[in-house]
Amino acid sequence: MCRIAGFWDFGFNGEYDIDQTIKKMTDSLAHGGPDHEGFFADKSNGLAIGYRRLAIIDLSEKANQPMTDGRFWIVYNGEIYNFPEIREELLKKGYEFKSNSDTEVILHSFREWGLSCVNKFTGMWAFGIWDPVEKKLFLCRDRFGVKPLYWYQKEKTFMFSSEIKAFLKHPKFKKDLDIQSVDVFLSLGCIVAPKSIFKYTHKLEPSHFLIVDKNGKIEKLRYYDVRKYYQISNIDETEAEIELERIMKKSFKLRMVADVPVGLFLSGGVDSSLVCALLSEQGIKLKTFTIGSKDKSYDESKYAREVSKIFGTDHNEFIIEFPSAEEVIYMLPEIYDEPFADSSAIPTYTVSKMARKSVKVALSADGGDELFLGYPKYFIKLNTLSYIGKILNFSPNLSGFIPFNKINRLFSKIKLISSGKSLEEKYLYANTSFLPETLIKLYQSSNLRESLKYITELYSIEEANQIDRIQIFDFMTIFPDTLLIKVDRASMFVALEVREPFLDNKIVEFALSLPLSLKLRNSTTKYILKKILKKYLPERLVFRNKMGFSIPIEKWRDMEKIFENILQRRRIEKVGIFNQKAVIEMMKLYRKDKREFPRLWFLSCFQLWAEKYLI
């Protein structure tokens, strides 16, 4: 696991020091790679690549990067869990290895099979490979976007990095704000690929190669499309249960490959408990970590404790309270160098920091909800969408018992949703936190519908039933830039590698083939996962109400003081983006109704980010 960066300056004429520039770029990523640094520069071509290493597999110097096979040079972030079997295949073909690392396996695989080598990989990755013979740079990101990869191009300068902050260290980087991305962030709390907060800066989408040639021409290629696996099978329930458990056991165990200790984030919910159960059943002893809260409505630690006791894990827990959370709030712009508003980033960072004291790698159970319909939002919002027309017709009858300002906002939201031309568009509008008219008052907003249009045009699968269609859309668009980026940044900020057992392509493909009735049975979500888990845990632990990984941030009274501090007139005017009068009006509404919290939180997250990166 590493952090990587590089650049190709097609107009380089010696006006800056290439070696010092790549070092400054990778130094900005040192938090994610404290074990080693390395660089390679092809000065005649104005190119340099570098990395910061978090040593996980083959801890020796032989596994250091950048690595070369005599022709290609690679910098790589991630883990290829099945690298030993690919290594054996390459050995039979006559390849020789100097290390026991998966990096060298990627390098030789690329030479042997070219771009198609990634079809052999089981894992998570983001890599850059330089070919000095053909003068081409190849970038690649894993199938589901577990590892991040940004790229930048303006005029004659191209860059790539695991995090945007590395670009700020290059003298030719232009940090021009993309106002459409501000619309996207304030609507969704994140910025969906391929956009980023800056113009000329992009996220490489999951399942893609990006190829740059000597003329600066860019070619983007998709090597994997999860939608191809949406083929509903006729498998019966018993057979599906047996096969899924078999696939999960193999996939979960595969993610234990490491030359350092491995732990598990254990919430006590279905997904993390299932990972714990299936690994324990295979004789693997685990260190487990959980975050609790004094607010019982948010606290799952007692369930995690019970699961730990059943499977005999070495369990660790931490109760998060406001003072420790407040400290993390002000760290968010440094951890996430784009605006990011998922407040569960706070407990994610906290549990990562706790785990890092004991292990260098941790498993998380992200993806279970997205793949097996664990979120009620998929079918609740679908029901809401189906009633939009009826609500519009009923609107005159609501004025007697709903305050006027709330009626206006409600029907503005309904009209926004009803304007969607596709199911995906309506679903996206249903998830927005700000209405178009509010954004226009707040700043010089673009047209919100135009700003979000690129997301709804990215992925659709019209042959799917409506619930599966929303689920797949969410998995391919919002999921990588909310949950996956949240975990990657929070964990790598403390030099902890986090692996996602549910995001094995075999599990994803199998989940997409399952009939809806095996994922949602009456009111039981994640039906098939719960059926497997109840073989290992009491039903009261398996079928309890879902709580989610969150903290009671909306209930903390001191949050009002934080909002008043961050959104005070002096600070708003210094950044110069938001209209102060509109912010004051929103603060007034929040004091009257704490349900306004999400919008104040989104504004505060953006303001903190802007103060760090725009001023």
Is residue 66 reached through a cis peptide bond, with omega within 30 degrees of 0 on the bond before it? Answer: yes
475: helix, strand or coil:
helix
* Residue count of the chain: 615
**Token representation of residue 96:** 């020789």
Tell me if 80 sits within 8 A of 86, measured CB to CB.
yes
560: helix, strand or coil:
helix
Residues ≥6 apart with Cβ < 8 Å to 88: none
212-221 LR contacts (CB < 8 Å, sep 24+):
212/8, 212/136, 212/137, 212/139, 212/158, 213/135, 213/136, 214/10, 214/45, 214/135, 214/136, 215/10, 216/8, 216/10, 216/153, 216/156, 216/158, 218/153, 218/158, 221/115
Side chain identity at residue 529, one-letter code = L
Provide the angle, in degrees to the nearest 10, between the axes of the packed helices 423-430 and 404-418.
160
**Token representation of residue 62:** 């032989």
Whole-number Å distance between alpha carbons of 514 and 520:
11
Side chain identity at residue 385, one-letter code = L
DSSP type of residue 365: -
2 is catalytic: yes
Pairing of strands 208-212, 136-141: antiparallel
Whole-number Å distance between alpha carbons of 58 and 2:
13
Catalytic positions, written as ranges: 2
